[in-house]
Amino acid sequence: MSDIVTAIVAVGVVLGFMILIHEWGHYAAAKLLGVRVEVFSIGFGKRLFGIRRGETDYRVSAIPLGGYVKMSGENPMDERTGDPGEFLSHPRWHRFIIAIAGPAMNILLAIGLLTGVYMVHFEYPVFLDKPAVIAGIKHDSAAAKAGLQPGDRIVRIEDVDNPTWEQVYFNVVLNPNQPVNVTVQRGDQTLQKQIVPKAVTSSQVGSAGWYGDESVIVGDLEPNMPAQKAGLKEGDKIIAMDGKPLPSIDAMIERLQQTQDRPIDLTVLRDGQSLQLQVRPVLASTEDPSEKRYRIGFQNRAEMKISSLPFVQALNRSLDDNKKNSVLILQLVERLVERKISIRAVSGPIGIAQDAGEAAQQKGWTPLLELTSGISLNLGIFNLLPIPILDGGVILLLFVESLMRRDISLKIKERIYQAAFVFLVLFAVMVIYNDLAKLIPGLTGRLP
């Protein structure tokens, strides 16, 4: 129950702060340009409480799913009086600045938060920066069917030369059941291959079935599972299984399916000392609702590099990471539109609440701040999509009107907004349904 309360409080704080920043962007731009702001609301629906200052009612409303700024005369269906304080009385470039100010504040918040995090506690997985040399391949996987072998180095995937494992990961995840072109170096040979990643887990993301050389470090332990009962502890590094070195968590998962419920001997490093522990795997549920496999019950934790960066380096790293993440978000949207990836890959409010709850329970503030940065960037970019009702839709209509050199008729705008509203409601229902469906299988991530 405490985890649920933590998740609710965390997501309330995170989303409330981002909505406040977003709406403040609209509010500040409107005030600066002389547009009268009637309401600044956190939440929708009935007014719960607030204060009135001058011409603006600052309020908290009953439905905590967003917020809004109401400007005089902003609704195209309202009668226009010609009052200079009305939104539609202002030139289109004023309205453009007001519309883009909200998403811009979210993007600036994402950059600022990540810069602060990197200045205090810059942490990232060692594995992701390594060259993409294949350490092993899962039986009957996409990589196995393509004829790839351990020791192959991926020198090109799609249009990325000499990719890191991070670049390989995203090219695979975003292309379930879609052909992906791969070039590998095998000794003196350069081979052209094509793989078709399988759609896996409840999110239906792509998996090639290859893995690199990655440390096996115990993260969260599942209650009453063999790993906990055998005495494994968070932070333990598992270096061998039945006397054979473990190159990665995926290798361990593969071997567990071969040993099944036979007891296994683990060589573990803990505080610089080597320990021998015996564990008996059990057949248990996984992150994929259609799959059960032999497991011992812990989540793998990546080996991390930790440092702090000076301001300029932190800012540059933040800009680079936000640019990279923005491209990934747009690629996800493109693949959703093309129906090349399932809508299940998108998380809604329930998924965000789970992530926020997990981040809030970790040590320090940096995990929650990193998550807030990522969600803020997603919110900013989502609002810039050319969908009427969203800020991007307002910008699109302003652009069309500028080309036409006249306003679009009110009847057409009304139909556009009605269709957009129905689309957004259906999209929200679908995403929330997917969130609920993902709760059924339980844990996510790679679970040995």
How many structural domains compose the chain? 2
160 lies in some domain: yes
- Contact between 442 and 295 under an 8 Å Cβ cutoff? The reply is no
390 touches 383 (CB < 8 A): yes
Question: Would the pTM count as exceeding 0.85?
Answer: no
Tokens of 433: 């349904």
Rg (CA), the chain: 25
Domain that holds residue 188: 128-211
Are residues 156 and 205 both part of a single domain?
A: yes
Q: Are residues 231 and 193 in the same domain?
A: no
User: How far is C-alpha 249 from the geometric centre of its chain's CA atoms?
Assistant: 22
Cβ neighbours, 10 Å, residue 319: 13
Distance CA 226, CA 264 (A): 11
pLDDT, tens digit (0-9, with 9 covering 90-100), for 305-334:
888 899 999 999 999 999 999 999 999 889
Mark whether 187 and 254 lie in a shared domain. Answer: no
pLDDT tens-place string over residues 266-278: 999 999 899 999 9
User: Do residues 200 and 146 both lie within one domain?
Assistant: yes
pLDDT, residue 341, reads 86
What per-residue confidence (pLDDT) applies to 353?
A: 67
- Last-in-domain residue among 285, 311, 338: 285
| More confidently predicted of 421 and 326 | 326
Please indicate, yes or no, whether residues 226 and 269 belong to a single structural domain of this protein. yes
Q: Tell me the per-residue pLDDT of 114-155, one tens digit each, with 9 for 90 and over.
A: 999 999 988 888 888 788 999 999 888 999 999 999 999 999
- Residue 389's pLDDT band, with cuts at 50, 70 and 90, is confident
> What number is the average pLDDT over the span 176-204?
92
State residue 77's pLDDT score.
Answer: 64
Task: Give pLDDT, residue 264.
Answer: 95
Arithmetic mean of pLDDT, 216-237: 92
Question: Considering the chain, what percentage of its residues have pLDDT values greater than 90?
Answer: 52
Does 172 lie in the same domain as 236? no
- Distance (Å, rounded) from C-alpha 251 to C-alpha 210? 10
Using the 3D structure, point to which of 185, 211, 237 is the last residue of a domain: 211
Where does a domain end: 211, 228, 259?
211
How far apart CA 304 and CA 124 sit, in angstroms, is 5
Query: Which residues make Cβ contacts (< 8 Å) with residue 318, sequence separation at least 6?
Result: 111, 112, 114, 115, 118
Residue 413 lies inside a defined structural domain of this protein: no
CATH number at residue 156: 2.30.42.10
Residue 3 resides in a domain: no
Are 170 and 229 within one domain?
A: no
Q: Are residues 181 and 226 in the same domain?
A: no
Task: Identify residue 409 by its one-letter amino acid code.
Answer: S
| pLDDT greater than 80 at residue 66 | no
Per-residue HEC secondary structure of the chain comes to CHHHHHHHHHHHHHHHHHHHHHHHHHHHHHHHCCCCEEEEEEEEEEEEEEEEECCEEEEEEEEEEEEEEEECCCCCCCCCCCCCCCHHHCCHHHHHHHHHHHHHHHHHHHHHHHHHHHHHCEEEECHHHCECECCEECCCCHHHHCCCCCCCEEEEECCEECCEHHHHHHHHHCCCCCCEEEEEEECCEEEEEEECCEEECCCCEEECCEECCCCEEEEEECCCCHHHHHCCCCCCEEEEECCEECCCHHHHHHHHHHHCCCCEEEEEEECCEEEEEEECCEEEECCCCCCEEEECCEEECCCEEEECCCHHHHHHHHHHHHHHHHHHHHHHHHHHHCCCCCHHHCCCHHHHHHHHHHHHHCCCCHHHHHHHHHHHHHHHHHHCCCCCCCHHHHHHHHHHHHHHCCCCCHHHHHHHHHHHHHHHHHHHHHHHHHHHHHHCCCCCCCCC
Q: What residues are paired with 182 via a beta bridge?
A: 157, 193
